[in-house]
């Protein structure tokens, strides 16, 4: 396995002003940096690629899906904007050497509605149809799409691994799988190891996160059983720590971080990495 850290641990958004984070993450001992493309306009592909190459650090790409990037929205223009954004993330990933774009790309994060079954089915159909379009484009660039299941407080569409697998099956593209995050799974899954086994070959990317979004290992999650499940399904891919800094107020508010989760963000990353290498490596 390769172990990485999300840019969200320290900054938002990632840009040329925060390129030093690449060297910082390398010095902490990580194998890759997971860059969230909050605003494609802040992403200088050439500058990022040069710094990654100089640091000998890998990269993964994830997306941020707000209401203007919702591929299952009622509004056709919004859906088109969502597909265009995923395509842009794919282009950035291909240019930087990442074979993955991950995130809850089926809807807008924070969209929670009580819908009639017919309306929910229509939303699901729109998401499937537009994911197929995005996947076909990604396939031409050698990029896989990892769809993230989120907890019930962040989306009303796909909360569980079973729902995620059904969604991937309906899309029917070999380059579409799942991103599973132990923070969300801890809320939604009755049995985390069983859920990972159900995901099986569909697991493309993995977020190893504490139940409070703090330091992995400083929590109540069944890490040895999680490690065994990952071995059972033959998962040898990327494992990223995703946490958030309370110093960026907008992001902290969005993910409900109301207090410091560690002494500092470097300590969170360093201790989390040491634990994950021990239990998963």
Residue 129 known to be catalytic? no
Residue 148 known to be catalytic? yes
Dihedral pair phi/psi, residue 171, rounded to 5°: -65, -45
Angle of helix 223-232 versus helix 192-199 axis, rounded to 10 = 20
Dihedral pair phi/psi, residue 16, rounded to 5°: -60, -25
Give the angle subtended at the CA of 270 by the CAs of 266 and 275, to the nearest 5°: 150
Question: Which listed residue (148, 154, 188, 189) is catalytic?
Answer: 148
Contact 145, 175 (CB under 8 A): yes
Question: Which listed residue (34, 38, 188, 242) is catalytic?
Answer: 242
Tell me the three-class secondary structure of the chain, residue by residue.
Answer: CEEEEEHHHCCCCCCHHHCHHHHHHHHCCCCEEEEEECCHHHCCHHHHHHHHHHHCCEEEEEECCCHHHCCCCCCHHHHHHHHHHHHHHHHHHHHHCCCEEEECCCCCCCECCCCCHHHHHHHHHHHHHHHHHHHHHHHHCCCEEEEECCCCCCECCCCCHHHHHHHHHHHCCCCEEEEEEHHHHHHHCCCHHHHHHHHHHHEEEEECCCCCCCCCCCCCCCHHHHHHHHHHCCCCCEEEECCCCCCCHHHHHHCCCCCCCCCCHHHHHHHHHHHHHHHCC
How crowded is residue 143: how many other Cβ atoms within 10 Å of its Cβ? 22
| Positions marked active-site | 148, 242
């Amino acid at each position: 396995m390769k172990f990485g850290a999300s840019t969200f641990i320290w900054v938002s958004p990632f840009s040329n002003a925060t390129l030093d984070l690449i060297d910082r993450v390398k010095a902490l001992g990580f194998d890759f940096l997971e860059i969230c493309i909050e605003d494609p306009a802040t992403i200088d592909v050439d500058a990022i690629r040069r710094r990654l190459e100089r640091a000998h650090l890998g990269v993964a790409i994830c997306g941020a899906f707000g209401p203007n990037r919702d591929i299952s929205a009622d509004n056709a223009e919004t859906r088109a904007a969502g597909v265009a954004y995923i395509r842009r993330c794919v282009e950035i990933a291909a240019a930087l050497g990442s074979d993955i774009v991950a995130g809850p790309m089926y809807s807008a994060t924070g969209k929670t509605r009580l819908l009639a079954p017919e309306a929910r089915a229509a939303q699901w159909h729109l998401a499937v149809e537009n994911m197929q379009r995005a996947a076909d484009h990604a396939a031409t660039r050698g990029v896989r799409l990892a769809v993230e299941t989120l907890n019930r407080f962040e989306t009303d569409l796909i909360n569980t691994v079973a729902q995620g697998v059904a969604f991937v099956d309906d899309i029917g593209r070999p380059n579409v799988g799942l991103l599973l995050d132990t923070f969300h799974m801890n809320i939604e899954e009755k049995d985390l190891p069983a859920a990972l086994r159900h995901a099986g070959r569909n697991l493309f990317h993995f977020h190893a996160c504490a139940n409070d979004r703090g330091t992995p290992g400083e929590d109540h999650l069944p890490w040895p059983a999680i490690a065994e499940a990952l071995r059972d399904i033959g998962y040898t891919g990327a494992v990223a720590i995703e946490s958030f800094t309370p110093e960026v107020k907008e992001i902290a508010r969005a993910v409900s971080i109301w207090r410091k989760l560690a002494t500092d963000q470097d300590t969170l990353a360093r201790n989390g990495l040491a634990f994950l290498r021990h239990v998963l490596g």
